[in-house]
Structure 1
Amino acid sequence: MTWNVLIPLIVLLPLVGAGMNALFGRALKGSWPGIVGTFFSFLSFGFGVFAFLNYRPMERAVPEIVPFFRWLEVGGFNVEVAYQLDQLSLFMVLIVTGIGSLIHLYSIGYMKGNPGIARFFSYLNLFLFSMLHLVLAENLVVLFFGWEGVGLCSYLLIGFDTHKETAANAGIKAFLTNRVADLAMVIAIALTYWYSGSVSFTQIASVLPEMKGFLHVLPVVTGCYFIGAMGKSAQFPFHIWLPDAMAGPTPVSALIHAATMVTAGIFLIARLNFLFVLTPQVGIWIVAIGTFTAFFAATIGIFQNDIKKVLAYSTVSQLGYMFVAMGTGAYVAGLFHLLTHAFFKALLFLGSGSVIHSLHDEQDLRRMGGLKSQMKITWFTFLLGTLAISGIPPFSGFFSKDLILEKAYFYSPLFFGLGVVTALLTTFYMFRLTFLAFTGTSRVSPDVHPHESPWTITVPLIVLALGAAFSGFLLVPDSLGGIDLLERYFKPVFSIGEEYSRRLLRSGHSTVHHLTPSAELTLALLSLGAVGVGFALSWNFYVKKKEIPPAEKDYAGWRRLVVGKYYIDEIFSGWIVQPILFFSEFFSSVVEKQFLDKILVNTGRISSGISVLLRRLQTGTIVDYAFMIVLGTILILSLFLWRGL
């Protein structure tokens, strides 16, 4: 099978599944819409694995460009729908289709009996299609098509329960927030084409050294790309849409937070690494905003009582870690954490969904407890996910998080210190969640009888737990044995950017720094110590003292500020939304109705009055017309005579 057939097939198979459910879903009974959608997602994953093996990524150094069809032709502006096959795109394809397929399988059991199951799986398949189109894109325009596609699908899936006002509002909020950030993305694409004459990644990279004028404006361009990435990957202040996205069904949350939407921003920076390495001044902002977002979101997570909201703020925080890596130029570290996070965050969301499903849609941690005896598979896999995200060795999060903290240390001890404190907070709120949900005395409503979920839910949990446990061994520091598999895998993708950094910035050294094994071990021990403190605090409050968190309205002082999410939504509402609504109402009720409408209405009345007068002159009688002709002639002659005199 040639690349020209194989790669479009990977992208289009989920689209076929979406189309089948959209057209024939109502005719399919029971779980068949889910089976159809899951079949096409797994089929895409199978072809993705086949492409990965045939590409031989450890041996190839040049990307494979796969043309599909010519799309746009306007003057000298030509865009072809083409796909770029390299180590980065294959890495993302396996994450998107692999974890996405497990979420599809999980959804069969979770959405069983839902009357909108066909619509749900149609949207879910469309989400995979859009994300695959994005990560395989050969140029910026094709990428932007997928970029907007995932934005549309997130809107459709977050607001899937159309009868719920909260879901509808959350979908609109996600859509509008991303449109603001996407404006910067459009500006960046336009500037890139203006200076390079191309939107193709390989062509832009090849002509970059000759574009002297472009290098001067490059900080603006990469800054705009970064703003676009902030929107998709929910970095402060664009983070506000992601926690509200929990209004959608739990599988949607898992798909958005682990395999699709939020990873798009990280992917964009990695794909355009040859531009970002030339703008270290933008890199500092990326590190600063990423560090702040990680810490900021982690503080909010410590007082949340909604099981999904805790995980939502955890995602915002972990994405902050990834941006820290991207800002320091440690792209492999960022992608490494993207991989491990995809496993353990999908696991945690699906595990929370298993709990919610068993408790008949209960999400409040204060109404849980003691579930580990009734839901042993869910409990054990969720515990593995908690250990991984907390960074406890030898689980995956330990290796990826500590690698990012090591890179942050080179920028500033401040960034490293905030990252370590964030790790402490992460451990605290994740074990708080785990202890409140699964241990202690049951606080479940008496009319609810918890039980383990069906195999369609537990099998994905087991597979994801294996990934969360062992994916960290793809990149191990020298102090712990030294495995550089992922570094060698990604070397062809980032080698061009490294070369440009040395040549154009005349830095004379690589942007990727390495510590001695003893220094690595010291930093790791500091991080591990913070994790230990976080675990001890959580154990003390929620196991030893068996505390139950109060309702959010019962908090006071600084806790009230944190529980209120620092009132960021209220600030946006008061300073941006309300003024816009005020001026909109003013223009609607005053300018439009009392000014413009009156002008238009009176103009119409004048025209109507003139027409009434003219209609009276049109009698249809020959004698009247003859009289008017004679009268007109007399008037004209009188005018000439008067002028003559």
Structure 2
Amino acid sequence: MSYLYLTILFPLIGFILLAAGRDKLSENVAALIGVGSVGLSALVALFAGIEFVQADGTAYNQYLWTWFNVGDFSATFGLHLDGLSLLMIGMITGVGFLIHIFASWYMRGEDGYARFFSYFNLFVASMLVLVLGDNLALLFLGWEGVGLCSYLLIGFYYSNPANGWAAIKAFTVTRVGDVFLLIALFLLYQQFGTLDTVYIVENAKTMLTDSNIAFWTALMLFLGAAGKSAQIPLQTWLADAMAGPTPVSALIHAATMVTAGVYLTCRTYTVFQMAPEILQFISIVGAVTLLVAGFAALVQTDIKRILAYSTMSQLGYMFMAVGAEAYQAGLFHMLTHAFFKALLFLSSGAVILAYHHEQNIFKMGGLFKRNKFLFACFAIGGGALAALPFITVGFFSKDAILWQVWAHGHTTGIETYGTLFWVGVAGAFLTSIYTFRLIWVVFFGEEKTHYHEIKGVSYWLPLAILAVLSTAVGALLQTPVLNILTEANIPAFTMTADLEHYKHTIELYAVGIALTGLVLGIILFAFAYGSVKKLANTSFGAGVAHIWRSAFGFDALYDLVFVKPYLLLARILGRDPVDGLWLMIPAVVKGGHKFTSWRQTGSLREYASSIALGVVVLVIILIVKQVGL
């Protein structure tokens, strides 16, 4: 595995070549470099995985060089491969390669074709640094790298100012989370004297004994993770990030960057275990996020924003699992989510092209008759998203989370987790409804926009592979994934033996309510849509829809609490009040000079009158004083 560094080097070289060539490169050459570099990285990751399994899951460390020395602190540029990082690089390079293939078709004819792939390659390289780095300083380097690439790719169509603002918003909100993460790194270094990840994980239980330090360190780590993974209160950027090209949404906002927060919390799980109240807080935040996002997805009209809110919701499930110490279930759902959400985003990209870049689902319709392959992809991806039982991969991952959250509550006696289980079930109910709504409106009914025929192997091949992985076939990966995670010392979920016989009952609850949501969605949108529109046109319906459409008004709240006060302060400071204060002194002197010089008229009559007036005033003062005596 001495060639592990090549997984990062290949896409980095691709970035350099594409950035240097830019408009000088033809689309074919740019696609060859952009797609080929990630393909080579995926091949290296595959070979590394095979060797890792043959070595019985023994962790591998590759020292490359010393990054920097500052006083007693030394950061290496080294790579660490264990079961968790192997899962991540497999997902990043494997799914990323398929998305790159699709993007080579999707972006044809766009200005900045080579520029797009240069950003795409740099993103993959940064993400690999994030998950392979053997210390948290190197993780932070990759963390900032993917943030930069996210900004560049969201604002790719920069000629439209709205896209630029969306990119700035994503960059700013995630930077808030990054500040918290940086504080966490300072706290960890203060306690451990190093940022070596393995050392911190192995020694957290013996060295992080101060409950206050453990609390604040875990909280800062989670807030950093929440920024990247779009969890409340740092979730507002994700929906607007759909301004970027659709392959960007598939790669960054479904399969890779947004899962970095989940990776971070699982990588440093022993730190969180020293602050159980933060673990509970993580589950609560995940549950609230999935519910808020589920309601928001119900009323969106933009096909990509629906999927964006569903991504936010599924990330909520992952964090709910992490907070319940069901790390392996959360990580497996992260993998399955990469399959079916990448499938849905790429399929939506194909739909958008087929309808001449139209993204409003109510201006589509009738696509089932035109393209049954896309319908099959949406049906499989949507089924996995809604966790249709037994036939989709989402069933095997999401229901495992719900069951383990319930079991954790009964094992620990913390009633909160029992409540969170029902919140998760309610989220599954909403997911079924908005998923059916999306598919029904796009693929059935009257065709409202002229359909444009789409074709090409680089269009259908990635979709076909992802569709297969989104079925129960993808669930075959569950056992090997859980095995390598166990070998990476990511704890398997434990519970008391007397709870095991409740498993099927709890799963039946979850499946039954999700299927009820599907049936309700069919009734509402296939048979009673007229009644739905009538309700939406009432004052009550319009008000509720507005609240849900705005995702419960977090943007408006932040605008009122943070943006407007900041702009007011900027306007005040823009006039430099300190300089203004000092300028008052010369202003007073100048005013006094102007007043005295105004009396210098050169008229003897005025001077005599002034003297006489002064004498009169003095006489009056003397008389008053005399009377007073």
| TM-score for both structures, normalised by structure 2 | 0.87
Structure 1 position 545, deviation (Å): 3.5
Q: 2:418: which partner in 1?
A: 413
Matches within 5 A, 1:28-177: 28-56=25-53, 59-60=56-57, 62-177=58-173
Q: 1:571: which partner in 2?
A: 557
Matches within 5 A, 1:381-400: 381-394=377-390, 395-400=392-397
- Find the aligned partners of 1:599 and 1:460 in 2 and give their Cα distance: 72
Structure 1 position 201, deviation (Å): 1.2
Structure 1 position 25, deviation (Å): 2.9
Q: 1:204: which partner in 2?
A: 200
CA contact (8 A) 1:287 1:328 kept: yes
Q: 1:312: which partner in 2?
A: 308
Deviates more, 1:115-124 or 1:214-223: 214-223
Q: Deviations over 1:224-248 (max 9, x none)?
A: 1000000000001111000000000
CA contact (8 A) 1:375 1:450 kept: no
Q: Indicate how the Cα distance of structure 1 residues 196 and 430 shifts in structure 2: closer, same or farther if over 3 A, else same.
A: same
The residue identity in structure 1 corresponding to 2:471 is A
- Find the aligned partners of 1:25 and 1:590 in 2 and give their Cα distance: 43
Q: Indicate how the Cα distance of structure 1 residues 282 and 53 shifts in structure 2: closer, same or farther if over 3 A, else same.
A: same
Q: Deviations over 1:526-569 (max 9, x none)?
A: 11111111111211122224558699998523222212321110
Q: Deviations over 1:163-192 (max 9, x none)?
A: 011110010001110111111111111111
- Find the aligned partners of 2:572 and 2:23 in 1 and give their Cα distance: 46
Which of 256, 259, 275 lines up with 1:260 in the alignment?
A: 256
Asked if residue 290 in structure 1 is aligned to residue 286 in structure 2, the reply is yes
Q: Indicate how the Cα distance of structure 1 residues 564 and 209 shifts in structure 2: closer, same or farther if over 3 A, else same.
A: closer
CA contact (8 A) 2:201 2:269 kept: no
Q: 1:493: which partner in 2?
A: 488
Which of 435, 447, 454 lines up with 2:440 in the alignment?
A: 435
Partner of 1:238, secondary structure, is: coil
- Find the aligned partners of 1:15 and 1:335 in 2 and give their Cα distance: 27
Structure 1 position 344, deviation (Å): 0.4
Partner of 1:24, secondary structure, is: helix
Structure 1 position 452, deviation (Å): 3.3
Structure 1 position 207, deviation (Å): 3.6
Matches within 5 A, 1:323-338: 323-338=319-334
Q: Indicate how the Cα distance of structure 1 residues 550 and 174 shifts in structure 2: closer, same or farther if over 3 A, else same.
A: farther
Structure 1 position 469, deviation (Å): 0.8
CA contact (8 A) 2:151 2:171 kept: yes
Deviates more, 1:543-552 or 1:174-183: 543-552
- Find the aligned partners of 2:256 and 2:347 in 1 and give their Cα distance: 18
CA contact (8 A) 1:57 1:87 kept: no
- Find the aligned partners of 1:10 and 1:514 in 2 and give their Cα distance: 43
Q: 2:526: which partner in 1?
A: 543
- Find the aligned partners of 2:520 and 2:465 in 1 and give their Cα distance: 31
- Find the aligned partners of 1:134 and 1:309 in 2 and give their Cα distance: 27
CA contact (8 A) 2:68 2:74 kept: yes
Q: 1:528: which partner in 2?
A: 511
CA contact (8 A) 1:333 1:404 kept: yes
CA contact (8 A) 1:37 1:104 kept: yes
Which of 443, 451, 472 lines up with 1:470 in the alignment?
A: 472
CA contact (8 A) 2:365 2:448 kept: yes
Q: Deviations over 1:64-108 (max 9, x none)?
A: 111111111112111110010101101100100011111111011
Partner of 2:257, secondary structure, is: coil
Structure 1 position 600, deviation (Å): 11
CA contact (8 A) 1:308 1:349 kept: yes
Structure 1 position 454, deviation (Å): 2.5
| TM-score for both structures, normalised by structure 1 | 0.85
CA contact (8 A) 2:64 2:78 kept: yes
Deviates more, 1:457-466 or 1:510-519: 510-519
Structure 1 position 220, deviation (Å): 1.1
Q: 2:461: which partner in 1?
A: 459
Identical-residue share of aligned pairs (%): 37
Q: Deviations over 1:297-321 (max 9, x none)?
A: 1011101111001000000000000
- Find the aligned partners of 2:208 and 2:163 in 1 and give their Cα distance: 49
Q: Deviations over 1:437-464 (max 9, x none)?
A: 01122122xxx33323432111111111
Deviates more, 1:373-382 or 1:141-150: 373-382
Partner of 2:27, secondary structure, is: coil
- Find the aligned partners of 2:171 and 2:358 in 1 and give their Cα distance: 27
Q: Indicate how the Cα distance of structure 1 residues 260 and 239 shifts in structure 2: closer, same or farther if over 3 A, else same.
A: same
Q: 1:24: which partner in 2?
A: 21
Q: Indicate how the Cα distance of structure 1 residues 599 and 156 shifts in structure 2: closer, same or farther if over 3 A, else same.
A: farther
CA contact (8 A) 1:374 1:450 kept: no
The residue identity in structure 2 corresponding to 1:376 is K
Which of 202, 214, 217 lines up with 2:213 in the alignment?
A: 217
Q: 1:226: which partner in 2?
A: 222
Asked if residue 365 in structure 1 is aligned to residue 361 in structure 2, the reply is yes
